[in-house]
Amino acid sequence: MSSHLELAQRYMTESVGLLQRSGYRLSLNFDLNGWAALLRSAPSIGIVNPTFDPAHSDLKPNEAFWLQLNDDSGVVACIADRLFTTDDFVARELASGKLWYARPGAGDRPALLPSAPIGRYSGRVGHAGGLWVHPRRRKDGLSWLLPRLVRALSIMNWSVDRHCGLVFEGIHDSGLSAQAYGFPESHIVVEGYFPPVRGDARVFVIHIDRDQIAAQFEDDLVRMTDGDPQMRDVATIVSQRIHEPVVRSRVVQMGGGDA
């Protein structure tokens, strides 16, 4: 088996080729002000995630980046990523509010469930979010590829131990976080007050570790190197996966058994 770094580098190379064949141009950016400005002006956007917004978060040099995807008509997609080096991602970053705010106050802490996976995620943790795809490109498989690209870059740049994200109940229950975004594990962490929306929500942390990322890359590369596929071919696979039943055994409530 190839090393994690070699797989990530090959995955990046093949992905760029796939995007170019499909009429897209990918750019890597390190100024998150550009990501925040893009989302504030984007159509069909909800909240601008404060985790990646320099107006709210203390983003250290070389510990955050974002990807922008363009076609001939302009920007069509983006996603952001950050590195957290922590002994407990859920207890230290999420529960304290530091995941979203540089100096969180009492009103910036979520209603963390007692069953949240305390002590499970540590080390060099890549955290992705801020995924947006233009409405006219939402059937092209971009929400499948972009989360995988930031995982590849997280391994190449930061040698992460794991990668995670947060999703609302609707995204989780639709199967997108598993079948499209490619996170095989999820835990419900918040049920109640959620600071980024200043209101109540049910929120899941979604997770994949370094070995699972490597196995995912190997599987994907078989499809990506079979002939000269384009994103519309990937989109067909993604659509088929999303319409498969969600594997409920992957939803773990720590202390409460499988959901």
pLDDT per position as a tens digit, 153-165: 999 999 999 999 9
pLDDT in tens, 11-56: 999 999 999 999 999 999 999 999 999 999 987 777 899 999 999 9
Q: What is the pLDDT of residue 138?
A: 86
Radius of gyration of the chain (CA): 17
Q: Which of 21-35, 37-51, 96-110, 221-235 has the lowest mean pLDDT?
A: 221-235
- pLDDT at residue 257 is higher than 50: no
Task: Show the beta-strand stretches assigned E in the chain.
Answer: 25-29, 64-71, 74-86, 123-133, 162-168, 185-194, 199-209, 252-253, 257-258
Average pLDDT over residues 55-62: 92
Mean confidence (pLDDT) of the chain = 89
pLDDT at 256 over 60: no
Q: How far apart are CA 189 and CA 4, in angstroms?
A: 29
Token pair, residue 91, equals 């207890």
